[in-house]
Chain A
Amino acid sequence: MRDLDKKALKAKEKKATLGQDIDLDSFKVGYVHHEYVEDLTTLSDSDKARMILAGVDAEEKERSGTYIQKDTEVVHVGSTQEGVEVIPIKQALREDKWIRDYYWTLASVDTDKYTARARLDLHNGYVIRALPGSKVIYPVQACLYLEKDGLSQHVHNIIIAEEGSELHIITGCATASHVQRGVHIGVSEFFVKRNAKLSFTMIHHWAEEMMVRPRSVGVVEEGGLFLNNYICMRPVKSLQMYPTTYLSGRGAVARFYSLLVGNHGSEMDVGGRIFLKEEDTRAEIVSRAITNGGNIIARGDLIGEVPGIKAHLECRGLILNGGSIHAIPELNGRADGVEMSHEAAVGKIAQEEILYLMSRGMSEDEAVSTIVRGFLSVDIPGLPPQLKAEIDRAVEQSDKDML
């Protein structure tokens, strides 16, 4: 741990390679106390409403576990199904030796000043683990909530799907309705072990002056499946993330889906990078971006290192009302016999499609809204219905706000 600190200290001022540089010192640090909440239904209505938008159900219906952190404090944690553990990371670091086998083993603490900060001033974060062979039917929900205006929040999450297990997680990040400004730094490390299946759906619901820097790395072992969905349709000042996944075992599969809506004043630089390191591995990155005046960079990088891999990248953007979309799809084949492809398209809604729907009786506004919703509705195989419903709800909500 001392080594980690040393490295982190060295990287304290290290700028990230992508995204606008954030002056972390201009944000508040330090501990913010919140009472532990036994019964989530006692949360204030406005908190509940904000959390629902990020996919968190206060009644914990059809959920197998919950982790809620407000600012720096864990306010609720627990699992309701055998075979799944939900533990605050600080507690795990104190009590569970095994966590050291995971903590900062995929992500590098000296990547940039944000990773360094997450080590040097760790507030908390969750460890979610599905035990070997356990099938967790309902998703685990996690919420990182920002209530103190101007705070810089630093979390570290570790997600482990042990051999043969199945785990679904929905994680929402949101700000209280009065919060305007803040920083969220979130380090996440994903471990999908042999023949395990992990779906991770992240819904972000930020405020207009929020700076957001997630830092994620994952590894998928033989026969494992990692589904990673990211949804951000609300205003955010600056968001930059480039999660990386290594497919390190034969037959491992990773699929990244992202839905982005960039509103006026938002800068989003979002991508995914997948290394295909073993035979028969498969990767897919699908992104849909809409701008309403914001600037979006949609990246995707697939690296095929051995023969017999298959990878596809699909990136579509719609410019509805000013702003820009910069699609940067990259394919990097490093061996004979890789099969890699990409398609990218950026444009506006085709007039022909609008008129087609109008000729079936829809008004122009209804037609546009139907097309936009269709554009954002990506079929994600393997996603449980509860999570599909959450994504649909997020799309519907953004649709209401957009038009």
Chain B
Amino acid sequence: MLVIEDLQVKLGDKEVLRHIDLEIKPGETHVLFGPNGSGKTSLLMTIMGYPQYEVTEGKITFNGQDITSLPVNERARLGIGISYQRPPTINGVKTSQIVGICAKGDVDTKAMAAKVNFSEFLARDINDGFSGGEIKRSELLQLMAQDPQLLLFDEPESGVDLENMVLIGSTISELLQRDFKMNDGKTQKERRTSRTKMGLIITHTGFILDYVTADKGQVLYNGALTCTTNPREIFKCISQVGYEECVRCAI
């Protein structure tokens, strides 16, 4: 379980997150909406432990452990993983190598890559010249290898063409145990109630909801969470009246 209590975060001199309270229970997936610059990525980076995001108040607890001041790699080890929107290129470091790092060596990289149609990229330098869709597939491949408990997705649909969107959507569903497999001997209800994976998905457009089911929607506006309800309802509201309405709710 991820518990965020009264979290306040500064990036440089700027306050980017204000009094955030958020709880993601095992098996739950939340969708985080918000206009550009509202602090969505800041929240993900703070959960992941990026040092430039300075926690000035509040705390983050993961599976009972206070992780507020743990370094990034410790959080990864505890089971937090992230799919970045714009990951850096690292020259000379091959994609296959990173997949191995994520899995701590114990992985059939080729078979895994085939699942996200990424086999031909394994020998390439990580993120070097990757298109939008390729970056997402690479990020998902790494998450598959890492197999974390809490998965953070930063705009998984951005820059992805329609064809890739289906693959990306279904892969995220599977990673979050939200796919509808028919042949594992369990009923769909049993599958649902035995879910353990937690997810937090940032979306700007909401398109990801066509592919991934979610339990809760959150709106982040100007660094504060302004509403929590059914994600589809939030999406519909934003689609029709825009984020301007969030201003009124934020007051």
Are B142 and A360 within 8 A (Cβ)? yes
Residues in A neighbouring B73, C-beta threshold 8 A: 358-359, 361-364, 367
Q: Which residues in window 318-375 of A have CB below 8 A to B?
A: 350, 352-353, 355-364, 367, 370-371, 373-375
Are A355 and B101 within 8 A (Cβ)? no
Q: A358-B73, A359-B49 are in contact. List 18 more A-B contacts (CB 8 A).
A: A353-B90, A355-B50, A355-B72, A356-B87, A357-B98, A359-B48, A359-B81, A359-B82, A361-B102, A361-B146, A362-B73, A362-B101, A370-B97, A370-B101, A371-B93, A373-B93, A374-B125, A377-B92
In the assembled complex, B242 has its CB within 8 A of some CB on chain A:
no
Q: Pull 14 A–B residue pairs with CB atoms less than 8 Å apart, ordered by A.
A: A350-B88, A356-B88, A356-B90, A358-B71, A358-B73, A359-B76, A359-B81, A359-B82, A361-B73, A361-B146, A364-B73, A370-B93, A373-B93, A376-B92
Count of chain A residues with a beta carbon within 8 Å of a chain B beta carbon: 23
Query: B75-103 toward A: CB 8 Å interface, digit per residue (1/0)?
Result: 11100011010011011110001100110
In the assembled complex, A378 has its CB within 8 A of some CB on chain B:
yes
* Given A355-B72, A359-B82, A361-B146, A375:B104 Cβ within 8 A: no
* Given A355-B50, A355-B72, A360:B92 Cβ within 8 A: no
**Complex: A373 Cα to B101 Cα, angstroms:** 14
Q: Looking at the assembled complex, report how far the CB atom of A130 sits from the nearest CB atom of chain B, in whole angstroms.
A: 31
**Complex: A356 Cα to B142 Cα, angstroms:** 11
- Chain B residue with minimal CB distance to A357? B101
Q: Looking at the assembled complex, report how far the CB atom of B152 sits from the nearest CB atom of chain A, in whole angstroms.
A: 10
Query: B52-73 toward A: CB 8 Å interface, digit per residue (1/0)?
Result: 0000000000000000000111
Looking at chain A's contact residues, the main secondary structure is helix
Residues in A neighbouring B91, C-beta threshold 8 A: 316, 374-375
Compute the total of residue contacts between A and B using a CB distance below 8 Å.
64
Question: Which 10 residue pairs spanning A and B have beta carbons closest together?
Answer: A374-B92, A374-B93, A358-B72, A358-B73, A377-B92, A361-B76, A352-B88, A360-B102, A353-B88, A353-B90
Count of chain B residues with a beta carbon within 8 Å of a chain A beta carbon: 27
Q: Residue A360 contacts which of B50, B88, B146 (CB distance < 8 angstroms)?
A: B146
Q: Looking at the assembled complex, report how far the CB atom of B158 sits from the nearest CB atom of chain A, in whole angstroms.
A: 18
- Chain A residue with minimal CB distance to B92? A374
- Chain A residue with minimal CB distance to B97? A370
**Complex: A374 Cα to B97 Cα, angstroms:** 10
**Complex: A376 Cα to B142 Cα, angstroms:** 24
Are B104 and A361 within 8 A (Cβ)? yes
Are A358 and B92 within 8 A (Cβ)? no
**Complex: A363 Cα to B27 Cα, angstroms:** 29
Q: Residue A358 contacts which of B76, B81, B84, B98 (CB distance < 8 angstroms)?
A: B76
Are A374 and B90 within 8 A (Cβ)? yes
Task: Name, among B73, B82, B98, B101, the residue most crowded by chain A CB atoms within 10 Å (CB to CB).
Answer: B73
- Chain A residue with minimal CB distance to B102? A360
Are A371 and B90 within 8 A (Cβ)? yes
**Complex: A39 Cα to B123 Cα, angstroms:** 41
Residues in A neighbouring B146, C-beta threshold 8 A: 360-361
Q: Looking at the assembled complex, report how far the CB atom of B154 sits from the nearest CB atom of chain A, in whole angstroms.
A: 12
**Complex: A377 Cα to B104 Cα, angstroms:** 22
Q: Residue A361 contacts which of B48, B84, B101 (CB distance < 8 angstroms)?
A: B101
* Given A355-B72, A356-B84, A361:B92 Cβ within 8 A: no
Q: Looking at the assembled complex, report how far the CB atom of A351 sits from the nearest CB atom of chain B, in whole angstroms.
A: 8
Q: Residue A359 contacts which of B72, B90, B93, B125 (CB distance < 8 angstroms)?
A: B72
Are B98 and A360 within 8 A (Cβ)? yes
Residues in A neighbouring B92, C-beta threshold 8 A: 373-378
Residues in A neighbouring B72, C-beta threshold 8 A: 355, 358-359
- Chain B residue with minimal CB distance to A370? B93
**Complex: A376 Cα to B82 Cα, angstroms:** 28
Task: Name, among A357, A359, A361, A377, the residue most crowded by chain B CB atoms within 10 Å (CB to CB).
Answer: A359
Query: A33-69 toward B: CB 8 Å interface, digit per residue (1/0)?
Result: 0000000000000000000000000000000000000
Residues in A neighbouring B77, C-beta threshold 8 A: 361
Q: Which residues in window 277-329 of A have CB below 8 A to B?
A: 316
**Complex: A350 Cα to B87 Cα, angstroms:** 12
Residues in B neighbouring A358, C-beta threshold 8 A: 71-73, 76
Are A360 and B84 within 8 A (Cβ)? no
Residues in A neighbouring B125, C-beta threshold 8 A: 374
**Complex: A17 Cα to B104 Cα, angstroms:** 52
Q: Looking at the assembled complex, report how far the CB atom of B203 sits from the nearest CB atom of chain A, in whole angstroms.
A: 21
Residues in B neighbouring A316, C-beta threshold 8 A: 91
Residues in B neighbouring A373, C-beta threshold 8 A: 92-93
- Chain A residue with minimal CB distance to B51? A355
- Chain B residue with minimal CB distance to A354? B72
Residues in B neighbouring A374, C-beta threshold 8 A: 90-93, 125
- Chain B residue with minimal CB distance to A378? B92
**Complex: A374 Cα to B90 Cα, angstroms:** 7
Residues in A neighbouring B97, C-beta threshold 8 A: 370
Residues in B neighbouring A352, C-beta threshold 8 A: 88
Q: Looking at the assembled complex, report how far the CB atom of A366 sits from the nearest CB atom of chain B, in whole angstroms.
A: 8
Residues in A neighbouring B49, C-beta threshold 8 A: 359
Q: Looking at the assembled complex, report how far the CB atom of A188 sits from the nearest CB atom of chain B, in whole angstroms.
A: 28
- Chain B residue with minimal CB distance to A379? B92
Residues in A neighbouring B48, C-beta threshold 8 A: 359
**Complex: A337 Cα to B171 Cα, angstroms:** 50
**Complex: A358 Cα to B72 Cα, angstroms:** 6
Residues in B neighbouring A359, C-beta threshold 8 A: 48-49, 72-73, 75-76, 81-82
**Complex: A316 Cα to B102 Cα, angstroms:** 28
